[in-house]
Amino acid sequence: MRDILLHNRDAWDNEASRTGPWSTPVSAEVIEEARQGRWEVGLTPTIPVPGHWVTPVKGLDILALASGGGQQGPVLAAAGASVVVYDLSPGQLEKDQEVADRYSLDLRTVEGDMTDLSAFPEDSFDMVFNPGSNMYVENILAVWSEAYRVLRPGGTLLVGFNNPCLYIFDWHSHMAGEFVVRHRLPFSDLHDLPKKERQAYLDEGLALEYSHTFNEQIGGQLAAGFELLGFFEDAQPGFAIGDYMPTAFASWARTSKGRS
């Protein structure tokens, strides 16, 4: 598993070097607008997070979890939050640090695995902001328990995640616009692809993914102690299946009121 973690880190470093859609830092105009109170951030591909999920953030301590790339973290910092961006990829983190240095933002970066937040003590943050990324880790229940631990009482968890139904289909056929049902759920590239096909993914430098059930995504948050406050659907541009069903979801949750 350590080897897979390192492989996915390298895959995202490569993505960062190409400045892909999740690796292109925000502009000076976006930072200035955020400083003036006009801003938005995304958990999923196209729909901004509803304003009442994230405002106000001024004065909050926010963990931008697996959120490197110079996008959400800098905007939240420009809006007045104190932000820590925690990500597996040094290349992604460099994007955030560049933006923070350029615009003197209250933001720092920490490299690490999203399932292990031991770098932070209990009750460190008011918000954990986690754009779609948990498809890259096998054990997302650890993500929820760690997020709960580092959040203060009444703190919020905002998460974007893939529709698990995407993983039913053969990926290459889907990208060609054909829907070929191939896999049982839950599915993972690591455990369920034939060895030769999995090796081809590795050779191409593609990050390996894991589907996660709603029992793990939403039920896991509830079991960790969160209360669900909000939910919405989105669709990924360029995904043919997006014409027929949502490809991504976002959830908004809060730590239980009774927590001591």
* Residue 175, pLDDT score: 85
Topology at the third CATH level for domain 2-163+212-255 = Rossmann fold (3.40.50)
Distance separating alpha carbons of residues 158 and 149, to the nearest angstrom: 15
How confident is the model over 88-117, as a mean pLDDT?
98
The reported pLDDT for the residue numbered 125 is 98
Domain boundaries, the chain: 2-163+212-255
| pLDDT tens digits, one per residue of 192-241 | 999 999 999 889 999 999 999 999 999 999 999 999 999 999 998 888 99
pLDDT at 237: 87
Average pLDDT over residues 49-76: 97
With a pLDDT cut of 90, the percent of the chain lying above it is 88
Distance of alpha carbon 83 from alpha carbon 76, whole angstroms: 7
Say if pTM beats, i.e. exceeds, 0.85: yes
DSSP 167: G
Which residues, 6+ apart, have CB-to-CB distance to 9 below 8 Å?
A: 88, 89, 90
Q: Report the range of poorest mean pLDDT among 22-26, 126-130, 256-260.
A: 256-260
As a whole number, the mean pLDDT across the chain is 95
- Over residues 20-29, the pLDDT tens digits come to 889 999 999 9
Bridge partners of 83, per DSSP, are: 62, 107
Sign of CA dihedral 180, 243, 238, 251: negative
**pLDDT at position 19, please?**
83
- Residue-wise pLDDT for 32-47, tens only, equals 999 999 999 999 999 9
Check residue 1 and give its pLDDT: 58
The residues with which 127 forms a beta bridge, in sequence order, are 62, 156
Confidence of residue 258 (pLDDT cuts 50, 70, 90): low
Q: Are 256 and 200 in contact (CB under 8 A)?
A: no
Cβ–Cβ < 8 Å for 52, 99: no
